[in-house]
Amino acid sequence: MVKHPKPAWEHPIYTEEQINKVTVAHREAKTWSDYVALGMIRTLRTVMDLATGYKHDHAVSLGKKDPAAANQKYAMTERKYLIRNIFLESVAGVPGLVAGMLRHLHSMRRMKRDNGWIETLLEESYNERMHLLTFLKMASPGPFMRLMVLGAQGVFFNAMFISYLISPRTCHRFVGYLEEEAVLTYTREIADLDAGRLPQWEKMEAPQIAIDYWKMPEGKRTMRDLLLYIRADEAKHREVNHTLGNLDQKNDPNPYVSEYRDLTKPHPTKGIEYLQPTGWERKDII
């Protein structure tokens, strides 16, 4: 028996240059649906930061004046970051699955084609689960965190299920904004690592599961490299969901599986060669 079957989806190859180019970004809210999605994300982020005592900006500014006090008050240790990442990744794997499932069911009951969205959505949740499995190689959450994951999954799955039935566009925008936060968090982790605040990570190697999945080249398999790959994935989800949120949910084809006549012109792809931090506008791709 083969112990590790091939992954369901091959990960596209990211180059070093591409993953270094990923930046924090924000898509301005324009419609009511955007504001609802953004409001939800801002609220969730505040609650999450409060619950976990995570105050990055405070920590950095106090750290400059009094490192010892900052450490005592807000220190994000390697373990704290890992547990936070594990929790967030366990939540992040939900929306793609729910959206993919609902579009699958919709296609069957309406006896209509799906226009290719399902695959991209399921692939996203697979990718998030790979993030989770990777972090689980580095830390194991205690019973309290496991209970939190269980509770969050129960609530979030059902909330997403109902919300996606009501307004899939708002849900994609919501995920777009969620991924903006994910890019921000991983950018901060990389900054903390570079600033010497996470010494255990400095010499740490990426686990084998990650090396295989992202096809990390030799000599580029440190924890820092891994965080760059994961951040790039989040930036891709940010682009995909902001793009899907711009489309006609019922009639437009999935631009990520469409074929393009002029391949020399930037167009949506599975990789990050033409990454669009705020998504593709409908008029440019349909």
Residues of this chain that interact with Fe ion (CB under 5 A) are 89, 92, 128, 131, 179, 234, 237
Question: Is the Cβ of residue 84 or residue 103 nearer to Fe ion in the bound state?
Answer: 84
Asked whether the beta carbons of 90 and 153 are under 8 A apart, the reply is yes
According to DSSP H, which parts of 23-93 are helical? 32-52, 56-65, 67-74, 78-92
Shortest spacing between CB 32 and Fe ion, in angstroms = 25
- Phi first, then psi: what are they for 205, rounded to 5°? -95, 150
Shortest spacing between CB 117 and Fe ion, in angstroms = 17
Amino acid letter at 161? F
For residue 51, CA distances in Å to 45, 47, 54, 184, 236 come to 10, 6, 8, 18, 28
- Give the SS3 label for residue 180: helix
Shortest spacing between CB 178 and Fe ion, in angstroms = 7
According to DSSP H, which parts of 247-278 are helical? none
Question: Is the Cβ of residue 62 or residue 163 nearer to Fe ion in the bound state?
Answer: 163
Q: Nearest Cα to 184, choosing from 269, 57, 73, 76?
A: 57
Question: Is the Cβ of residue 88 or residue 198 nearer to Fe ion in the bound state?
Answer: 88
Shortest spacing between CB 100 and Fe ion, in angstroms = 15
Question: Is the Cβ of residue 225 or residue 234 nearer to Fe ion in the bound state?
Answer: 234
Shortest spacing between CB 143 and Fe ion, in angstroms = 24
Question: Is the Cβ of residue 145 or residue 286 nearer to Fe ion in the bound state?
Answer: 145
